[in-house]
């Protein structure tokens, strides 16, 4: 069994599809000068979030993508390991219900673990959004050794159908606010004393906000600007990142992640325009990729009612520390939310 202490020291290469390297150099004989700090290699990887799902008679099915192009379908009847109905983080979509599941599948060539959440319209369950992640383990790998697994994320529903793209406005702007979550990893550099050279990770949860300019086909937004990014261990990855794990010393709370992109006529975008800031740590470099899609369902103002997507954001700091945020997001227009029940986050 892998202990929590040991797990914290793993570099999650397969899980988050990155490779962060820090060199080791020895000091010169008798020299009091510190060796130069190596520059980490930042290699963000686009997080493909499209897959096929169905939600019929309260049964969810998800096609899991393998790296070799194969798919395997898991569903909430045959593969359920657990299910619960906690309130989702705000903002909540009116007249919608939700459910969360952990699914698993043991196959001859390995194992799949999958987390899924579905939100659906009470009056029309065919109007749903499914989101989550999966881990695909090679044969023989223990489930707690998830550094051996390859990871995927997904967001799917009828309003994201690429065969039915949104009818985007030709002019005007729209704002969106919602939630983002995923895995936060921090690799400690020289200024962290005994922690230098080690890594910690946890789940993060935060409020994300965007402004879409339909005339110029641009979207820009920020994670962390409305409210500090929080940690939420065990929210989704509870078989692996439990609430019993200690909070990381390097909190994600004061990081702000800024995003920009151009979107096409079908409401899709993918870009690397990302910056990372922190009030007390000197960010020396940042690299990232993010992609998303506007809904094909309009709100009462004629704008797409939501925008969803995925992110992989990496950064390095002056003392050789580095980190990353990998996750997914879902944001709604204020017109889609109730404005009078304190449901919409704001800066106060």
The tens digit of pLDDT for each residue in 292-301 reads 999 999 999 9
- The C-alpha atoms of residue 290 and residue 288 are separated, in whole angstroms, by 7
Q: Which two tokens stand for residue 19?
A: 């490779």
Quick check: 345 pLDDT over 80? no
- Give a yes or no: residue 348 inside a domain: no
Q: How many residues does the chain have?
A: 348
Quick check: 342 pLDDT over 60? no
pLDDT for the residue numbered 49 = 86
Q: Which two tokens stand for residue 134?
A: 């999966």
Question: Tokens 């051996």 appear where?
Answer: 148
Q: Identify the band that residue 67 occupies on the pLDDT scale cut at 50, 70 and 90.
A: confident
pLDDT for the residue numbered 238 = 61
Quick check: 34 pLDDT over 70? no
Higher pLDDT, 290 or 146: 290
The structural domain count of the chain equals: 1
- Give a yes or no: residue 84 inside a domain: yes
For residues 87-99, average pLDDT: 81
List beta partners, residue 120.
97, 128
3-state secondary structure string across 88-102 = CCCCCCCCEEEEEEE
Q: Identify the band that residue 241 occupies on the pLDDT scale cut at 50, 70 and 90.
A: low
DSSP 235: S
Quick check: 191 pLDDT over 70? yes
Q: Identify the band that residue 42 occupies on the pLDDT scale cut at 50, 70 and 90.
A: confident
Q: Which two tokens stand for residue 76?
A: 């909430």
Higher pLDDT, 34 or 215: 215
- Give a yes or no: residue 33 inside a domain: no
For residues 72-79, average pLDDT: 95
- Kindly state the percentage of the chain with pLDDT values over 70: 81
Mean pLDDT, the chain, integer: 84
For residues 108-115, average pLDDT: 88
pLDDT for the residue numbered 264 = 97
For residues 97-118, average pLDDT: 90
Higher pLDDT, 37 or 107: 107
Domain span at 309 = 4-22+38-336
pLDDT for the residue numbered 98 = 92
Q: Identify the band that residue 237 occupies on the pLDDT scale cut at 50, 70 and 90.
A: low
Q: Which two tokens stand for residue 146?
A: 């998830």
Cβ atoms 114, 132 nearer than 8 A: yes
pLDDT for the residue numbered 324 = 94
Q: Which helix (H) or strand (E) holds 8?
A: helix 4-8
Report CA 174 to chain centroid distance, whole Å.
23
pLDDT for the residue numbered 347 = 39
Main-chain phi, psi angles of 308, to 5 degrees? -130, 165
CB atoms within 10 A of CB 31: 8
Give pLDDT tens digits for 6-28: 344 333 333 333 333 333 334 44
pLDDT for the residue numbered 2 = 38
Based on the number of CB atoms within 10 Å of its own CB, is 311 exposed (0-12), middle (13-18) or buried (19 or more)?
buried
Question: Tokens 């300019």 appear where?
Answer: 213
- Give a yes or no: residue 220 inside a domain: yes
pLDDT for the residue numbered 340 = 46
Rg of the chain on CA atoms, in Å: 21
Mind giving me the DSSP string for 156-200?
E-GGG-TTS-----SS-EEEEEEEEEEEEEEE--GGGGGGTT-EE
Strands (E), 108-149: 110-121, 124-138
- Give a yes or no: residue 329 inside a domain: yes
Mind giving me the DSSP string for 274-338?
EEEE-SSS-EEEEEEEEEEEE-SSB-TTSSBSEEEEEEEEEEEETTS-EEEEEEEEEEE-GGGS-
Q: Out of 141-155, 260-274, 304-318, which region has the weakest mean confidence (pLDDT)? A: 141-155
- The C-alpha atoms of residue 323 and residue 159 are separated, in whole angstroms, by 33
Question: For the whole model, what pTM was predicted?
Answer: 0.83
- Kindly state the percentage of the chain with pLDDT values over 90: 59
- The C-alpha atoms of residue 275 and residue 183 are separated, in whole angstroms, by 18
- The C-alpha atoms of residue 73 and residue 53 are separated, in whole angstroms, by 9
List beta partners, residue 72.
64
For residues 338-346, average pLDDT: 50
């Amino acid at each position: 069994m892998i202990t929590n202490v040991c797990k914290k020291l793993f570099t999650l290469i397969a899980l988050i599809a990155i490779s962060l390297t820090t060199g080791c150099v020895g000091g010169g004989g008798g020299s009091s000068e510190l060796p130069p700090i190596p520059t980490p290699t930042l290699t963000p990887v686009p997080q493909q979030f499209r897959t096929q799902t169905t939600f019929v008679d309260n049964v969810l099915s998800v096609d899991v993508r393998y790296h070799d192009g194969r798919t395997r379908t898991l569903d909430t009847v045959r593969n359920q390991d657990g299910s619960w109905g906690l309130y989702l983080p705000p903002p909540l979509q009116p007249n919608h219900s939700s459910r969360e599941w952990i699914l698993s599948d043991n196959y001859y060539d390995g194992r799949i673990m999958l987390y899924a959440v579905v939100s659906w319209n009470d009056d029309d369950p065919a109007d749903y959004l499914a989101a989550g992640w999966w881990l695909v383990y090679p044969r023989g790998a223990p489930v707690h050794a998830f550094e051996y697994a390859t990871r995927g994320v997904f967001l799917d529903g009828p309003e994201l159908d690429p065969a039915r793209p949104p009818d985007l406005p030709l002019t005007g702007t729209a704002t969106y606010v919602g939630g983002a979550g995923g895995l936060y990893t921090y690799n400690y550099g020289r200024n962290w004393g005994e922690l230098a050279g080690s890594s910690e990770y946890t789940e993060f949860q935060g409020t994300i906000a965007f402004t879409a300019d339909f005339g110029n086909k641009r979207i820009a937004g920020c994670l962390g600007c409305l409210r500090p990014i929080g940690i939420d261990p065990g929210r989704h990855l509870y078989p692996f990142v439990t609430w019993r794990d200690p909070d990381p010393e390097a909190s994600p709370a004061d990081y702000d992640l800024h995003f920009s992109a151009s979107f096409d006529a079908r409401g899709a975008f993918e870009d690397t325009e990302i910056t990372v800031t922190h009030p007390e740590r000197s960010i020396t470099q940042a690299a990232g990729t993010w992609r998303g899609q506007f809904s094909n369902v309009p709100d009462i103002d004629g704008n797409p009612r939501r925008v969803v997507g995925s992110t992989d954001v990496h950064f390095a700091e002056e003392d050789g520390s580095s980190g990353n945020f990998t996750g997914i997001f879902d944001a709604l227009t204020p017109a889609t939310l109730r404005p009078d029940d304190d449901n919409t986050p704001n800066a106060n």
